[in-house]
A and B are shown apart, each in its own frame.
Chain A
Amino acid sequence: MKETHHDIQSLSFEEAFGELESLVQQLEEGKLPLEETIRLFEKGSLLAQHCQALLDKAELRVQQLTEGADGEPQFTDFEVEE
């Protein structure tokens, strides 16, 4: 379970939200064994929590892509003034 929790933390919004949707659908079909249902419910709750946290707590991260002296792409953090 711990590991699942960790896995969810690393999901992007799109992945987490998509998984939540498919999981709800699966549950609504109601053909799963009870134990699986409970497992999916727990996972779904974590996914929803994660999605919400992404919207509530995320800091917009901006990086800058420029051409380095060697002509290679160069990524640097871009400081955003509010």
Chain B
Amino acid sequence: MNQLSLFAPLSVEELTTHIKALLESDTTLQDVWVEGEVSNFSRPQSGHCYFSLKDAASQIRCVMWRSTAARLARLPEDGQKVLVHGAVGVYEQQGVYQLYVNEVLPTGIGELYVLFERLKTRLRDEGLFAEERKRPLPPYPRRIGIVTSPTGAALRDILHVLRRRFPCVEVTLAPTPVQGAEAPDQIAAAIGWLNEHTECDVLIVARGGGSLEELQPFNDERVARAIHGSRIPVVSGVGHETDLTIADMVADRRAPTPSAAAEVATPERADLLGAIREGRSRLARAVAESVQSSAERLSYLTRALERASPIHRVNYQRQQVDERQRRMIARCQGAFSRWNLAAGSLAKRLDSLNPDATLARGYSIVSLERTEDVVSSCRQVESGDRIAVRVSDGQFGGQVTEKPCNQEAQAK
């Protein structure tokens, strides 16, 4: 900023520029809410709006550009009490300071709005809206806690969606009023109760659409802190698409409506059925593959086992035995035939030695009964010895009657 000199005179432009710079460097003046009554409202061809804001003691000129005016549901009217937000600036050409308005709210709502903005800023600075503290929702919730009015359309919509999408979920409703002075404490308490006394794995805090006043409980610090303090992740579904409440900002997930909150909190039934179907077919495929590979392995092992079977060894040994047996038989047969020949001649010779033939010719064999020796000499016998005489057709007994010495003498 230029330092003003007390001695050198300034041009009007220099002075005006200095004043402008002074006002525009003041942070309060650049972000200010002012309440007052509208007067001299005009909107020329350009589309920009010009009016004054006044109270009993003062007034200030206001400018609202066409783009701001286009956003407003209703333009301000003369005599209307409003709350405006804007920045103070200088219009050099006319040497006037004025408020460049970027928001106009009817008083009442306007106050709520200011409170809302203040709370939002404070809680944001405190980190309550931080992305990194938002928790994931369970993919397949077991029990859903609902904080809403037991009689509202919001509850009906939520239950309808739950029944359609994921009917196996269990629901615990903590009924509360959702508007009025009682609502914030009761909503906050319900969130606390569900945390303390139930096994819910996700909470839905919901309310149907309404005016800013009606949605006020969801812009209340007590509710915001209860959501923030919830051990269970919270899905908010407050109002319609366009309503964005403090509760929505603190919640782990924000859904634009109660129905949408129920959808966010549950899996899609068709997806699940698809997933189950896929699980089934993967199961069947895995088993078929397993059976197939087991069968292949089995047949491989069977073949390997067959190859390694002792039957092969047995057969080999059997062959070896056969082989030896054959050789043995061949050898033996040679020997046998030779022995047969020999045996034949032996039999003949044996036959010629058979005494029966001699006996048939009239010879006899005398044997001594007492010794059973064959008698071939007189000296063997004594007179009176019993003898057996064998002839061709039998034998008979006898007795020696004469001295053998006689016979000997005779022979001499």
Q: Report B286 CB to chain A, min CB distance, Å.
A: 4
**CB-CB < 8 A to A63: which residues of B?**
170-173
Instruction: Summarize B's interface: helix, strand, loop or mixed.
Output: helix
Q: How far is the CA of A59 from the CA of B139 in the complex (A)?
A: 20
B174 contacts across to A, CB distance below 8 A: 64-66
Please, which residues of chain B bring their CB within 8 A of the CB of A38? 287
Of A12, A14, A27, which contacts B283 at CB under 8 A? A27
Interface residues of A in 55-80 (CB under 8 A from B): 55, 58-67, 73, 75, 78, 80
Nearest Cβ on chain B to A17's Cβ, whole angstroms: 6
| Contact (A41, B283) CB under 8 Å given A63-B172, A65-B198 | yes
- Is A12 a contact of B168 with CB atoms below 8 Å? yes
Evaluate contact between B167 and A28: CB separation under 8 angstroms: no
Task: Say whether B169 faces chain A, with CB atoms less than 8 Å apart.
Answer: yes
Is A44's CB under 8 angstroms from B283's CB? Answer: yes
In the complex formed, the residue of A with least CB distance to B291 is A34
A29 — nearest CB in chain B belongs to which residue?
A: B286
For B142, what are the chain A residues with a Cβ–Cβ distance below 8 Å?
12-14
Q: Can you identify 14 A-B contacts, CB atoms within 8 angstroms? A: A12-B142, A14-B141, A18-B140, A27-B283, A32-B290, A45-B280, A48-B276, A55-B273, A60-B159, A62-B159, A62-B171, A64-B172, A64-B173, A73-B197
A residues 1-34 with Cβ under 8 Å of B? 12-14, 17-18, 20-21, 23-24, 27-28, 30, 32, 34
Q: A14-B142, A20-B279, A80-B159 are in contact. Are A28 and B171 (CB under 8 A)?
A: no
Do the beta carbons of A64 and B175 come within 8 Å of each other?
Answer: yes
Q: Which 7 A-B pairs have the closest CB atoms?
A: A27-B286, A54-B168, A14-B140, A58-B168, A58-B167, A62-B171, A73-B197
> Is A24 a contact of B140 with CB atoms below 8 Å?
no
In the complex, which residues of chain B have a beta carbon less than 8 angstroms from the beta carbon of A30?
286, 289-290, 293
CA distance A14 to B142 in the complex (A): 7
